[in-house]
Amino acid sequence: MKKHILAILVENKPSVLSKVVGLFSRRGFNIHSLAVGVTEDPEVSRITIVADGDEYILEQISKQLNKLIDVIKVSNISDESIARELALIKVHATPSTRNEIVEIVNIFREKVVDITKNSVTIQVTGDSKKLAALEEMLRDFGIKELVRTGMIAVDRGASAILVANGKKEG
C-alpha cells in the first residue's frame, strides 16, 4: 500500500498527541512513523505521521483528524518533498573491522559520533532509502542497537504550511 506523509499542526497541549494517535488506532489506520516537535510558534506543534493507505483511507484520516478540535491543519506532503529521518546505529567493532566500518560511513557521507574498543556509533541522516541502505551494509558487523527519529518533511519550493492564527488553509 502507498505511504503518505501527513503534516499535522496541533495546539501544543499535553493531551493532543494521545488524541491524534488514538484516532489512528481506533479507526484502524496504520502508523508507519511518527515525529513531534514545536514549530516557529511555541503554541503550535507539528506532528509528522507516515501512514499506509489508499486514497479513501487518506481522505478519511485527514477528515477525522480535522474534526479534532486541537488539530489546526492537516496537510498531505507530496512524494517529491524533502523528507529526512535521523538514526543512531551502534555496531559491533573489533580492531580488524573498525576501519572498514568507518570507510562505509564515509562513503555514505555520515558521521561516527562515538567509538569504544568494541563498538562504533554512527549518526545517519537522510530519507528512508538511505537509512535502509546503510543499515544493510552494517548488518554483517552486528548491529547492537538502532534508533530512528521518525520522518519529518517539508514541501520543496517557497510555499509553506502557515501556522498563522485562525488559518486552517495555509
Partner 1 sequence: MKINGAACMVKSLQAEGVEVLFGYPGGANLFLYDALIQSDIRQVLVRNEQGAAHAASGYSRVTGKTGVCMATSGPGATNLITGIATAYMDSIPMVAITGQVGTDLIGKDVFQEVDITGATEPFTKNNYLVKDIKDLPRIFKEAFHIASTGRPGPVLIDIPKDIQLDTMDFKYPDSIDLRGYKPTTKGHPRQIKKAVSAMMESKKPMIIVGGGGVIANATEELIAFAERMQAPVATTLMGIGAFPSSHPLSLGMLGWDHGVYPAKQAVAEADFLIVMGSRMADRSTGKREEFAQSARTVVHIDVDPAEIGKNIDIHIPIVGDIKNTLQGLLSQEFHRENPEWIQQVQNWKKFTKGTGAGDGANGLDPMEIIKTLSRKSSNDTIVATDVGQHQVWTGRYYGFEKPRTFLTSGGLGTMGYGLPAAIGAKIGQPDKQVALITGDGSFQMNLTELATAAQEGLDIKIILLNNSCLGMVRELQEHNCEKRYTQTTLKGNPDFVKLAEAYGFHAIRVTRSEEIEAAIDKLLSYDGTMVAEFIIDPVSNVIPAEKA
Q: Which residues bind partner 1 (CB under 8 A)?
A: 10-11, 15, 18-19, 22, 26, 59-60, 63-64, 66-73, 165-168
- Name the minimum Å distance from CB 18 to partner 1: 7
Q: Smallest gap, in angstroms, from Cβ of residue 73 to partner 1?
A: 8
Considering beta carbons, is residue 157 or 166 the nearer one to partner 1? 166
Question: What's the CA gap between 119 and 117, in Å, rounded?
Answer: 6
Pairing label, strands 31-38, 111-116: unpaired
Residue whose CB is less far from partner 1, 16 or 35: 16
* Cell 555514505, located at residue: 108
Nearest distance in Å: CB 105, partner 1:
43
3-state secondary structure at position 59 = helix
Angstrom distance (rounded) from CA 111 to CA 159: 32
Taking the least distance from each CB to partner 1, the nearer of 28 and 95 is 28
Question: Residue 76 and residue 49: Cα distance in Å, rounded?
Answer: 10
**Position of cell 558521521?**
111
- State in angstroms the smallest separation of the CB of 167 from partner 1: 7
Closer residue to partner 1, CB minimum distance, 11 or 127: 11
